[in-house]
Amino acid sequence: MEQEEQEGPLEIPMVGDLTDNEGALTEKLLDVPRGGECILYFDSPGGSPYCAMHMVGLIRLRGLRATAIVTGECSSAALWPFAACQHRFVTPFSVLLFHPMKWQSEEHVGLAEAAEWARHFESLETEMDHLLADMFNVSFKQMEKWINPGRYVSGRELAEAGLAEIIDMDSLDRPRNNGTPTKRSPTAAKSSS
């Protein structure tokens, strides 16, 4: 069976918890040819930091020319793949939550394992926060103001900081009457006068 050829860049929804959708998102990113273009649409509260780094790795290691568009939320771990994109767009209504990483452990973790996890987690958090600042091309000090203690940033604010471009929702084409432009017939206009 012959596959239809894709017109334009592959469009990939990054919706919901990234960790819950990691397998499907990985497949979709691998469907983009090396060095190819794709558009990632974000509406995600985040996921695991490891999943975030996996997505960043796929985008960067494969040299994808990715464009990110936040159509809703892009928070927590979703910020890393968003920042990894070459072009980033937000709407005035987009929301992005920057915060310190949170972790939880299994119920039955020994003290030595918990101590090692805490050491690893502190290192991972620091390295990932520096990577996020690098990908956004801002100082770590500026990024830290949003991360600690945690801050919701609007799309407009992110654009004003120079980290994304704003999509003006008013300039987009809007369908009327279920997609059909409203027109009054000349007869109806005369009879109503």
Q: Indicate yes or no: pTM above 0.85.
A: no
CATH placement of domain 10-101+113-169 = 3.90.226.10
Domain-by-domain residue ranges, the chain?
10-101+113-169
Residue 123 has pLDDT above 90, yes or no: no
Instruction: Please give the span between the terminal C-alpha atoms of the chain, in angstroms, as a whole number.
Output: 61
**Separation between Cα atoms, residue 57 and residue 87, nearest integer Å:** 17
Over the stretch 105-118, which tens digit does the pLDDT of each residue have?
A: 556 677 787 778 77
Mean predicted confidence (pLDDT) in 167-180: 65
